[in-house]
Structure 1
Amino acid sequence: MLIADDEAMVRAGVRAILARDPHVEVVAEAGDGHEAIALTRAHRPDVVLMDIRMPGLDGLTAAARLHRESATVGLIMLTTFGQDEYVTRALEEGADGFLLKADDPRELLNGVRAVGAGGAYLSPRVAGRVIAGMRAHRAAHPHRSLARLTEREREVLAGLGAGLSNAEIASRLHLVEGTVKAHVSAVLAKLGARNRVEAAIAAYEADLVPPGRR
């Protein structure tokens, strides 16, 4: 994975936390958005952990460019600020995760593991506000209905709501991962969801996720 933050001490702290997981390898560090894009192109990491506020090119703009270039890279925004406008824009720009620097270090590890496996992850400190915002948006756009989904697509959506990766959904439903990816794309299109996070919230609202998996 790649760490992008303009503060060297923050990068060192993040690297120290990630070192607790032997399955996570930091391949590069960047100090600004331009460098993050260049190093991502060079190293092709599975996950990019990006600070929002950086000099030159901010993290949100850099994340948007990376998402346009490759939808397969997992993007996690890391910031001191949890304002709703930051969270909303991050998700709109294609972020798969949103973490706060004040979170417990375990949240960082959980987020990197989830996004690295093809899933999504929100800091518990902002998840409630995101859900509330999505509910308000869905109330104003009733056409986004689960009735348009096939039974198989509803099963895939339930997997998204449970935080499962494509591989885990494939295993659960006895499908190949490529088929799951196609179903996920169809689910996002039919729901009008911009990413897996919004689809997961839709699954949560529709009670497709058992309480033990929420």
Structure 2
Amino acid sequence: MDPIRVFIADDHELVRYALRMLLEDESDIEVVGESPDGEGAVAAVGSEQVDLVLLDLRMPGIGGIEACRLIKEREPDVSVLVLTSFGDDDEVFGVLAAGAGGYILKDTRPELVVQAVRAMAEGQAVFDSKIAARVIAGQPDRGPDPDEELRSRFSDRELEVLQLMAEGMGNKQIAHALWISEATVKTHVSHILRKMGTPDRTQAALVAVRAGLVASPDGDAG
């Protein structure tokens, strides 16, 4: 299996060094480059084979939100995992709207950073628990009866897939759990995103939890 090719963008040299040492100690992860700013990350996804960008938010020049937007415009299949010291609501929602699939804080234990990289490579969404709670709470209501209005759009199977998406499962895991092919899962996910009106699976899952369509990852209903 090919290693997960990671690019690191952070304006602190010590942080970049620590992340490189942490990730390169793993046999299934390869650090293909690093940059002290967002411009370097954007350029890298256009010139190198990159699977995931580990992105700080506050950097000189192009900040993390704009860098994420440009990365996803240039290479939609590249995952963006935000690793930052900051968790302001404007930044959280801004980078999610730009297409980030994960958001963790720098006080996260090192082994959890490695787990997050692997999880995102499998197509899962990864959020620090404090960030996830705020994102779910901050999703706008969709009307007086959002549950029924949204629920009527989906088949029972699509709701099953949506529940597993909300639990952070990737396509392969969902296929195994539901005894269906991975190709069928991809089709269901595509239909869910279209019906939900969201650009990616992360935001679809968050809206679904907020609207009460599926249970939140901790087991509570919407």
Shorter-normalised TM range: 0.7 to 0.9
Deviation sequence 1:85-115 (CA, Å, 0-9, x none):
1110111000000111122223312221111
Gaps of 5+ in 2: 1-5
What is the SS of the residue equivalent to 1:77? strand
1:50-81 Cα offsets, whole Å, 9 max, x none, are 11111121121111011112221111112111
CA contact (8 A) 2:166 2:214 kept: no
1:25–1:62 Cα change, 3 Å: same
Letter in structure 2 aligned against 1:33: G
Task: Give the drift of 1:2.
Answer: 0.8
Q: TM-score, normalised by structure 1?
A: 0.88
From 187, 200, 203, give the equivalent of 2:205: 200
RMSD (CA atoms): 2.4
Does the 8 A contact of 1:6 with 1:55 survive in 2? yes
Q: Flag the 1:207–1:59 CA change in 2: closer, same or farther, 3 A.
A: closer
Determine the structure 1 residue equivalent to 2:14.
9
Deviations 1:155-186 (A, max 9, x none): 21122012111122123333333332222121
**Partner residue in 2 for 1:115:** 120
TM-score by length of 2: 0.85
Match of 1:71, SS? coil
The alignment status of 1:34 with 2:34, answered yes or no, reads no
**Number of residue pairs the alignment of both structures matches:** 212
Where 1:98 maps in the other structure, the secondary structure is: strand
Counterpart selection for 2:141 from 124, 138, 143: 138
Kindly indicate which of the two structures has a greater share of residues assigned to helix: 1
Q: What is the rounded CA distance, in whole Å, between the counterparts of 1:190 and 1:15 in structure 2? A: 40
Local SS of the residue matching 1:168: helix
| 1:1-214 superposed matches below 5 A | 1-134=6-139, 137-140=140-143, 142=146, 145-204=150-209, 205-208=212-215
